[in-house]
Structure 1
């Protein structure tokens, strides 16, 4: 496939009064076609500045970020700043046909947003088609100058991006799946900072190497940028001290294995406290359902200073893909820091309570020969989301009718044994949003279903952080399960895993007017329709209202 290039100019500037020194941060991103040699299969891919993963964007809390994207590829382009709250600046959120029409070939768009009240690790990625497979990178938000971390200062900070790799073009992979009605092919390898590490069919391939000095502590900013798989992460012989997830500080705890879903981030301290040598770093899939996954483990090396390159590597065995207990040990340990400086402001009352089933389905498809006249789909409350041809935020702001409806159901249309095997596998189609007033509190219980198969679903909410107040296995019981909710120090996130055959409950304050996407971050499920959106009305006055759209807002 032939690619051209996208040039992205990034200018970061903080807004401070005159005569106060303000450091301007300026970046130029060039998304270009680049030949790569991964798994001994050379092919051209879309990259930013010729790199896979793309460059890290460094900002500080309260900085304003300006990103000009100029599209010179044959595909439409949009960029999402995953986890950035985008207060009143939904025009810059990035999901195509939700908050903006995509940037068409030969056109440009200036993203403009301020990083307010956030610090930590997030990511940026393409939010149209499957381009985020290679168009992604890290966002590092440093604290305000003079504000220390609430944990010991590390000797060095290192970005570690986990991903997936296909030998074939990812757009061809999903297009073939959509035309057949079947699931797409799984990836050919996992990656750590763009490298799978040594693999059997390509022994000359090296991998990422983390250089450390004995006795010193390092902060790993770990991101799962994979399209379709949750990943375990561990380093042989070393404990990881978790201090942050999704750019929110946590109560520190030590553990040897992390689990990170696509779109999630985890900051962890590691101390080089073992004997000098080389230690294996591993990223492997977590999938406790009978779903096909790429079973290859990506590897890298933690390399102590002074150790010969020819020295043997201390190995570690990654957990099996269905190691639910290992995943739960990590997830159940997460708590908000909830300190005086960083309190956990959990909503204690609920204005809008939603119970949303998530899962798969099968709909008729006359052209899907491989699927015997059927197509695999996904849904929320039995609604398979249909992408509009005009962005929903634009339709809302300019009062364009016929683009969406506000009747997304707050409950499933029919009650059933959600984690069992229902008789009806078919879903309905629609572009439906759920409308809430400004500053109202929202509780969403996300319930996995056994339609086709139970499965983990990492669900991402745009525009907000939320508190994960509860989770469990089986069907959610609205009478008894809320009695066990954690309303004191639940973990605060922007992406949450709905457990296979279980449920999770989240709460957030709808203090950000606009249209905000909520979807499964397994790209195949989003493509199949496992998505919806919240429409949050304006409040009182301009400071509680969506800012006017920019003059260069893309047109559909």
Structure 2
């Protein structure tokens, strides 16, 4: 195993154009040392920062990022929530749309922000590097547009929820693979890189947000945690959620949010409490029976002292977050999401569907060889699957194999429905359902197809709340429910007027969601669970969206500097 540490050095300049600005950045990867939880260690970072630098642009702008890899490990970057129209070459998932940038090499990413508005983010898409390689992308309204669909806040603050391990993060998946068991748990959650005052040696480094009484602040919250959904709240303050995944929603008044790995949310906070010291905090929502998870709580401070004098409490006020396993609380929050569905922000829901897909998502088990001692349930090895196929990463990226017609890299035979029908959410399911098949298969979609996809959670080993992310697209969540999807009854309850538009959706524990999208972005696009252990185990699949007939409806040509495998 190669040990490495890294740093992306960032420089930026702008070029103005008629359609917006082009933002040019330079990232250089080197090593960096950080101290957390009373100990120092080297980690992969961006520009010497954990989290990495925040990128800012307006809707209609472009971002060009030249990445020099001077670390001792491979790296790729993904622009999570950016649709990358016709340009899967810059999407970033390793061995899906590109080969990795090897040490000593460079690659240029190009991001076209044609629809996104609000908060999205960027992160590594190579091994477990995203644990420390991530940062926010803020997309402001188009300068010629109408501005925010809510009163302009006094100030804005990125709030990135992350994790910290005392051990080398990049060795976690290989060590887990040796035993077949779960990867080790993090030693702390973090807010903007700091664990908070509830952990040892962290009080001085606790992130502090200074506020003026009576002002409104926009919190741009991102869950960059590897393996856990999180509850988040602010003591004695209500929040108003106004955006999700770089798209606006109807305002939601709430005391807490539930945010899955991969999701971002725009939240308004009014500093309307008596001057004091208050905590924001996050802790796990873990719904899978028997699954291990970090049971600690990360905190940051809301401080009114910049315009008021007060006696600081011995312990800052803490929010009342739901219990770790409270699915009812998660559901009560997420069921409120609705699109704005206004003239400026319409909900363009596909009403006439011509392509129906049904995917089961499962955690599985594999038998161990006679000379192995596996630590998974029943002495077996963990796996995961979509439609009972556990994804196998190819040696050459699928996009180049498709574009250049390289044979024997993937097969175009991913099933449109489960190979076996059963009671997906039933108890005591038969043991023969535990073992998946394996393969590198893609599902072909015709250009401009109107797609309805049912994502069905299963109880094959243990059900969980799975955050499913689709690259290259946003989609409308037109329905959801618990138990098995009923094709005769459930569609009558769909919301086709103002369903939320998202890029990462939480499939509820022992439940399902129905999403719709128009397949108008040609290319190779990954769909996967954003719980990293599930992705590592194979809970991924790939869409191949064909080119259209016109000159502007096909994949752009590959760039000259595309990495080679």
| 2:9 and 2:47 in contact (8 A); partners too | no
| 1:38 and 1:205 in contact (8 A); partners too | no
SS at match of 2:422: coil
TM-score, normalization: structure 2? 0.95
SS at match of 1:175: helix
Cα distance in 1 between the residues matched to 2:550 and 2:17: 24
Cα distance in 1 between the residues matched to 2:78 and 2:11: 14
The range that moved more, 66-75 or 26-35, is: 26-35
Cα distance in 2 between the residues matched to 1:545 and 1:146: 29
After superposition, the Cα gap between the structure-2 partners of 1:384 and 1:53, relative to the gap in structure 1 and judged at 3 Å, is same
Tell me the equivalent position of 2:4: 3
After superposition, the Cα gap between the structure-2 partners of 1:529 and 1:319, relative to the gap in structure 1 and judged at 3 Å, is same
| 1:77 and 1:103 in contact (8 A); partners too | yes
After superposition, the Cα gap between the structure-2 partners of 1:309 and 1:352, relative to the gap in structure 1 and judged at 3 Å, is farther
RMSD: 1.7
Q: 1:465 aligns with which of 474, 477, 499?
A: 474
Tell me the equivalent position of 1:240: 239
How far is 1:308 from its partner? 5.2
Tell me the equivalent position of 1:195: 194
Q: 2:517 aligns with which of 487, 508, 513?
A: 508
The range that moved more, 64-73 or 213-222, is: 64-73
Tell me the equivalent position of 2:327: 324
Tell me the equivalent position of 2:168: 169
Tell me the equivalent position of 1:301: 301
Cα distance in 2 between the residues matched to 1:221 and 1:309: 29
Tell me the equivalent position of 2:365: 362
Cα distance in 1 between the residues matched to 2:527 and 2:441: 12
- CA deviation map 1:526-554 (0-9, x unaligned): 01000001100000122000010011100
In structure 1, list runs of 5 or more residues that go unmatched: none
SS at match of 2:552: helix
- CA deviation map 1:220-270 (0-9, x unaligned): 000000101111110011111111000111111210100111110000111
Cα distance in 2 between the residues matched to 1:107 and 1:206: 35
- CA deviation map 1:494-538 (0-9, x unaligned): 000011111111111100000000000001100100000110000
After superposition, the Cα gap between the structure-2 partners of 1:142 and 1:176, relative to the gap in structure 1 and judged at 3 Å, is same
Cα distance in 2 between the residues matched to 1:242 and 1:498: 20
After superposition, the Cα gap between the structure-2 partners of 1:232 and 1:14, relative to the gap in structure 1 and judged at 3 Å, is farther
After superposition, the Cα gap between the structure-2 partners of 1:348 and 1:185, relative to the gap in structure 1 and judged at 3 Å, is same
Tell me the equivalent position of 2:431: 423
Tell me the equivalent position of 2:444: 435
Cα distance in 2 between the residues matched to 1:30 and 1:40: 29
| 2:119 and 2:245 in contact (8 A); partners too | yes
After superposition, the Cα gap between the structure-2 partners of 1:490 and 1:14, relative to the gap in structure 1 and judged at 3 Å, is farther
The range that moved more, 164-173 or 519-528, is: 164-173
| 1:438 and 1:539 in contact (8 A); partners too | yes
- CA deviation map 1:191-237 (0-9, x unaligned): 11011101354365541111110110001000000101111110011
After superposition, the Cα gap between the structure-2 partners of 1:398 and 1:229, relative to the gap in structure 1 and judged at 3 Å, is same
Tell me the equivalent position of 1:549: 558
Tell me the equivalent position of 2:50: 52
How far is 1:26 from its partner? 4.2
In structure 2, list runs of 5 or more residues that go unmatched: none
SS at match of 1:361: strand
How far is 1:5 from its partner? 3.9
SS at match of 2:332: helix
Structure 1 segment 137-148 matched on structure 2, within 5 A: 137-147=135-145, 148=147
How far is 1:105 from its partner? 1.2
Q: 1:456 aligns with which of 465, 478, 482?
A: 465
How far is 1:362 from its partner? 1.1
Structure 1 segment 130-529 matched on structure 2, within 5 A: 130-147=128-145, 148-202=147-201, 204-290=203-289, 291-304=291-304, 305=306, 306-307=308-309, 310-312=312-314, 313-366=316-369, 368-371=372-375, 374-420=380-426, 421-424=429-432, 425-529=434-538
Tell me the equivalent position of 1:119: 117
Cα distance in 2 between the residues matched to 1:315 and 1:376: 37
- CA deviation map 1:408-441 (0-9, x unaligned): 0011111111112232111000001100111011
| 1:15 and 1:64 in contact (8 A); partners too | no
| 2:7 and 2:48 in contact (8 A); partners too | no
Cα distance in 2 between the residues matched to 1:483 and 1:12: 52
How far is 1:9 from its partner? 5.6
Tell me the equivalent position of 2:64: 66
Cα distance in 1 between the residues matched to 2:191 and 2:418: 39
After superposition, the Cα gap between the structure-2 partners of 1:326 and 1:307, relative to the gap in structure 1 and judged at 3 Å, is farther
Tell me the equivalent position of 2:102: 104
SS at match of 1:329: helix
The range that moved more, 213-222 or 39-48, is: 39-48
